[in-house]
Structure 1
Amino acid sequence: MDFNKPDTVLNLQNIRDELVKMENTIIFNFIERSHYPTCPSVYKKNHPGLAIPEFDGSFLDWALLHMEMAHSQLRRFESPDETPFSPDKILKPILPSINYPQVLATYAPQVNYNNKIKHIYESEIVPLISKFDGDQAENYGSVATRDIECLQSLSRRIHFGKFVAEAKFQADKDLYTKMILEKDVQGIMANITNAAVEEKILLRLTTKAEVYGVDPTNKEGERRITPEYLVKIYKEIVIPITKEVEVEYLLRRLEVDA
């Protein structure tokens, strides 16, 4: 997606095409994470075996923070489709700014659900996609690395709801303006929900999980990601939080002009 061309960015079909690509990234990141156990120690704040001097948080918190600091210097978070987990810690890029055209409302960066995404990932998604429940000290670093990839891909997909919301607002300003002024959350939710599209997503995910989730050269057919769990993650986590992002973005849409 070319963020230098606002008209193409706010095209709903282009947005849906981008979301389809993100499905593949998320699935393969889940598959990579599935090679390891849950490793709960990685997520425990100040765990004795993983405590980091002068840092108040978990091993994953530390790894994610430093990964984002490095990525921020490479200009990652100047891109409108990237939302940092530690927005107050990112650094100035060492590369010249690109200065993308303003596509979303100026408050868009404040619509940040990463804390919620991270909590649900650790507590609900990790148990579903891990090889087994337990620790494996020799793989703490690998687990944290794979977790970061999973979190970043989930965050990008969920926060893409801001582009969906802006596209829908632009397509019917009168309707959304009325609902925003009335603070009609239920009305907004009803209008951003497309049950047919959601059903297609879940059917597509089922097919992809069936194909990608097993190594065809493995005679035992060990499955890394099951259709049931992938659909559950999207249906109960990814799609609902995306809608929360859309609703929060739209409720503030009359504050400023994009």
Structure 2
Amino acid sequence: MRELSLDLIASVLEGLEETIIYKLIDRIQFKRNEPVYQPGKSGFSGETASLFELRLRYQEEMDSLFGRFMVPEERPFTSNLPPPKRHRLDPDSPLRIPDYNLVNLTSRILIDYLALLSRICPPGDDGHYGSSCEHDVYALQAISRRIHYGAFYVGEVKYRQDPEKYKRLLSVGDREALLAALTRKEVEDTIAHRVREKARTIQATIRTPIRTQLNAEAVAEFYRNTIIPLTKEGELLYLQHRLPE
């Protein structure tokens, strides 16, 4: 079984914090632009989906052809995607799950992301619909990558640290006890604090009359209320579907 380094996994997750912050900064340079999310207002003849839904679907169709979703942490928001055209050789995975999509939290990520926009985007309509949904897609994919990477790899590492405990909790189906075992409150507090400070530091030299500034507290709360809980939910799903040795 391939070794996993918790320090390396934590470093990857920490690096994704900056990615998410930068993607959100890019999105909030445009207003909320509500028509982007309204069905039937995409401007595509005969389409009932919103412009955002179409942009996400077409992006993921292309991504699927190039093999993006062959990677465990890249889970699609869209169903019925084309199979990959690219042949990809993977090293032996340390994960023990028959289907990566058994851990797919994208529908819940999407709901919380759209709610976040109301807090961080300037209100109103500037007409930049294409740019708005383009940056939505990039931000969503970064957030999803962070959540699913943690779900798979942190879940596997925690299991290996105390397999007997997790086998016992899984055998009795004690969901609350499993979530408690997966929780590291002091680590969660550290992450939320670090994200808040990063958002402030990254924007320290932003010229606010020209550039919209990201609400650092809103991002920290999004981590605390969405990213961290959904990561743990993903860890739980992973453990529930984990194949025995």
**TM-score normalised to the size of structure 2?**
0.91
Aligned partner (choices 69, 72, 75) of residue 83 of structure 1: 75
Q: Is 1:67 the counterpart of 2:20 in the alignment? A: no
CA distance in 2, matches of 1:220, 1:204: 26
Structure 1 window deviating more from structure 2 (53-62 vs 236-245): it is 53-62
Deviation at 1:51, TM superposition (A): 4.5
Secondary structure at the residue paired with 1:178?
A: helix
User: What secondary structure is seen at the aligned counterpart in 1 of 2:214?
Assistant: coil
2:140 equivalent to 1:151: yes
- Offset at residue 182 of structure 1 (A): 0.6
- Deviations 1:183-242 (CA, angstroms, capped at 9, x unpaired): 1111111111111111111121121111113435x3869661122111111111111111
Native 8 Å contact 2:31 2:126 kept in 1: yes
Change (3 A) 1:220 1:126: closer
**Gap change, CA 1:209 and 1:121, over 3 Å in 2:** same
Which SS does the other structure have where 1:89 is aligned? coil
Matched residues, number? 243
Note the residue ranges of structure 1 that are not aligned, 5 or more in a row: none
Q: 8 Å contact 1:31–1:213 — kept in the other structure?
A: no
RMSD: 2.0
- 1:142-221 residue pairs with structure 2 within 5 A? 142-160=131-149, 161-216=151-206, 218=207
The offset of 1:79, in angstroms, is 1.8
Amino acid at match of 1:63: R
Tell me the TM-score normalized by structure 1: 0.87
Whole-Å Cα distance in 1 between the matches of residues 202 and 169 of structure 2?
A: 42
Q: Where does the alignment leave 5 or more consecutive residues of structure 2 unmatched?
A: none
Distance 1:185 1:17, change over 3 A: same
Letter in 1 for 2:87: P
Higher mean C-alpha displacement, 244-253 vs 181-190 = 244-253
SS in 1 for 2:59: helix
Q: Report if the CA contact (8 A) 2:29-2:212 is conserved.
A: no
- For 1:244, the equivalent position in structure 2 comes to 233
